[in-house]
Amino acid sequence: METPKISGVALAAAIAVVLAMATTPAVAQNSPQDFVDLHNAARRVEGVGEVVWDDAVAAYAENYAAERAGDCALIHSGSWEKAGYGENLFGGSGSEWTAADAVNSWVGEKDLYDYDSNSCLGSWDSCLHYTQVMWSRTTAIGCARVDCDNGGVFITCNYNPAGNFQGERPFERGLTLSA
């Protein structure tokens, strides 16, 4: 009995399908557009203008994420002093953490922000990730995700211009976006 032969094109197509199916959510949900879309979805809820991806801001984020890959420590980079950028960090053990996990975590602090008093409930910094995501004068972001040597994930987003200036609201309620 003769062994069936598979053409090179059919074999390549089969391998491509297998590789596409093997792509983990962590790989599939961490593109620049994913980060931008997630930020803009949150900002639209309060009528805040959209952000765009900025390659220079992303390069800063990527360089810092690479520095943290050895330990995955959630230590801020000093982005404000070094580049004038705001910064949000996210991390966790395991390798499945995505852009959505990070941004949803930051936006999840919404309930800790009291708009009327323009302050965080509980500790003074319990909502600052949320207010940075929502900072209306921020127009550009750059984010990075790395798998760390310890098996965890480190995600950082930087914001230009930075937000979270004491005494200033992140956004004004009641403003509508023009189309």
Confidence of residue 118 (pLDDT cuts 50, 70, 90): very high
Residue 10 domain-assigned? no
The answer to whether residue 133 is domain-embedded is yes
Residue 109 belongs to domain with CATH number: 3.40.33.10
- pTM over cut 0.75: yes
Q: What is the reported pLDDT for 160?
A: 98
Q: Is residue 7 part of a domain?
A: no
50 DSSP 8-state letter: P
In a domain, 38, yes or no: no
User: Does residue 173 fall inside a structural domain?
Assistant: no
- Pairing relation of β-strands 140-147 and 52-53? parallel
Q: How far apart are CA 126 and CA 175, in angstroms?
A: 25
Instruction: State the Cα–Cα distance between residues 157 and 90, nearest whole angstrom.
Output: 9
**Which band of pLDDT confidence, cut at 50, 70 and 90, is reported for residue 28?**
low
State the DSSP code for 24.
-
Q: Is residue 84 part of a domain?
A: yes
What tokens appear for 10 in the block?
């059919």
Q: What is the mean pLDDT of the chain?
A: 86
Domain that holds residue 156: 52-168
The number of domains in the chain is: 1
Has residue 35 been placed in a domain?
Answer: no
Does residue 155 fall inside a structural domain? yes
Going by C-alpha positions, the residue among 97, 94, 154, 162 that lies closest to residue 128 is 162
Each residue's pLDDT tens digit, 60-81: 999 999 999 999 999 999 999 9
Tell me what the mean pLDDT of segment 30-35 comes to. Answer: 97
Does residue 6 carry a pLDDT above 70?
no
> Taking the mean position of all CA atoms in its chain, how far away is CA 179?
25
